[in-house]
Amino acid sequence: MRKRQLDALGVSAFCESMAMMLQSGIQTDEAVALLRQDGGEKGLLEESLEQMLPQLEEGRRLAGAMEDCGAFPAYAVEMVAAGESAGRLEDVLFQLGKYYADQKAMEEKLRSAVTYPAAMLVLIIVVLALMLSMVLPAFTQVYDRLTGSLAASSYGYIRWAYGFCWGALGLMVLLALALLVGLALWKSKKRPLVEGFLEKLPLCGDILRGLGLYRFLAAFSTYLASGEVQDIAVADSIRMAGCKPVEAQLDKCLAQLEEGHGFAQSAYEQKLFEPVYGRMLLAGERSGSLDGVLKKLSGLLEERCASQTDRLVGIVDPLLSGILLVTVGVSLLSVMLPLLGIMNSIG
């Protein structure tokens, strides 16, 4: 049975705590022992630390102990191993702490961006179902009692209201089903199909591409912090992008790197980033401050993805709210028109 893994926030907390302790001169096994004592309520992290401590006390490396306990992502284990081999474990742990913290924040942002429209869809479906099952039949019964039977024109209004509500309900149910199927495919091996569809949508495609670049840069920066050379760091970071168009461009960059070009120049020629960002990388590489520029660029891409996600929610939310208001308003107006006719005939 596969062991449950820590979430991004748990990995981030572990890496940052370990980095601070190692920076203070505390040995690896002592740092894990201190973290285990401060664990409080026994959870997955506490259990993992208990499994790691005996191995570390026997002289095992941190990466090996993390891998054996099975609670850490393969990427984190791989980066810790690279940091230990290069003698830059503290830098790598700090980078991993930030990487997983940023990943958690972005996941929460995307989850909220999907949850709110989904909740609006459910609300619209419930309101339309109530209109069809309770409100419209109630008006029809009232009119039948008042007039014995509705006139042909009055029935036309009622039928129009029923048809409008049924059409809107069918559309909302289809959208809800499409969202559920899309989420199911996203979590399965069919994820590229969903990505391919979303990439054709203007704003969604920009968000997916921005997220892919952000994930790549975060991984690339961590590999460089571990002392890895550029071409190997790029090759190992491509798999973290999770976006086919970005990966295709990165493969072209990698081919140029293997020919002796620098990453910044290759990225600029392949138009991996916008021109202003490409020039930032070129300046950083030529001045020997590429690490700092990568961190800055990662932050800018993260902010841009968050801004685009907010913009998408800002478009979808009023659209769904407008559909709800128009559907309910037009339906109520349709069933009120016969009442106005009855009142006019009485008066």
Residues 53, 144, single domain; the answer is no
State whether residue 272 is helix, strand or coil. Answer: coil
Question: What stretch of H or E contains 67?
Answer: helix 62-69
Tell me the average pLDDT across 132-150. Answer: 70
- Assign 203 a pLDDT band (cuts: 50, 70, 90): confident
Residues 140, 53, single domain; the answer is no
Tell me the average pLDDT across 61-90. Answer: 85
State whether residue 309 is helix, strand or coil. Answer: helix
Tell me the average pLDDT across 123-140. Answer: 82
Tens digits of per-residue pLDDT, 290-330? Answer: 878 888 888 788 788 878 777 877 777 787 778 777 777 77
| CA gap 203, 38 in Å, rounded | 45
Contact between 43 and 110 under an 8 Å Cβ cutoff? The reply is no
Contact between 120 and 321 under an 8 Å Cβ cutoff? The reply is yes
Mean pLDDT of the chain: 79
Answer yes or no: is 155 within a domain: yes
Give 44's Cβ-side CA count (13 Å radius).
Answer: 15
Whether the per-residue pLDDT at 154 is higher than 60: the answer is no
State whether residue 149 is helix, strand or coil. Answer: coil
Whether the per-residue pLDDT at 232 is higher than 60: the answer is yes
Quick one: pLDDT at residue 344? 56
Tell me which amino acid residue 302 is: E
Residues 340, 193, single domain; the answer is yes
Quick one: pLDDT at residue 1? 40
Crossing angle for the helix pair 28-37 and 44-57, nearest 10 degrees?
A: 150
Quick one: pLDDT at residue 3? 64
DSSP code string of 89-121: HHHHHHHHHHHHHHHHHHHHHHHHHHHHHHHHH
Quick one: pLDDT at residue 119? 82
Domain count, the chain: 2
Tens digits of per-residue pLDDT, 10-37? Answer: 888 888 998 898 888 888 888 888 887 6
* Maximal CA-CA distance, the chain: 97
Which residues constitute the domain of residue 34? Answer: 8-72
Answer yes or no: is 82 within a domain: no
| CA gap 188, 208 in Å, rounded | 17
Residues 217, 179, single domain; the answer is yes
Task: Pick the closest to residue 327 from 155, 130, 39, 180 (CA basis).
Answer: 130
Residues 200, 338, single domain; the answer is yes
CATH number of the domain that 131 lies in? 1.20.81.30
Residues 321, 225, single domain; the answer is yes
Most confident of 46-60, 146-160, 178-192: 46-60
Count of other CB atoms within 10 angstroms of residue 12: 22
Residues 24, 136, single domain; the answer is no
Quick one: pLDDT at residue 112? 74
| CA gap 63, 30 in Å, rounded | 15
Answer yes or no: is 293 within a domain: yes
Structure token digits, residue 276: 């202003």
Residues 174, 68, single domain; the answer is no
Look up the pTM and report it: 0.69
| CA gap 334, 135 in Å, rounded | 12
CB within 8 A of 3, min separation 6: which ones? 69, 70, 71
Tell me the average pLDDT across 208-233. Answer: 81
Structure token digits, residue 204: 């969604």
Tens digits of per-residue pLDDT, 34-70? Answer: 887 654 556 788 888 888 888 888 888 888 888 888 8
288 or 254, which is more confident: 254
Answer yes or no: is 107 within a domain: yes
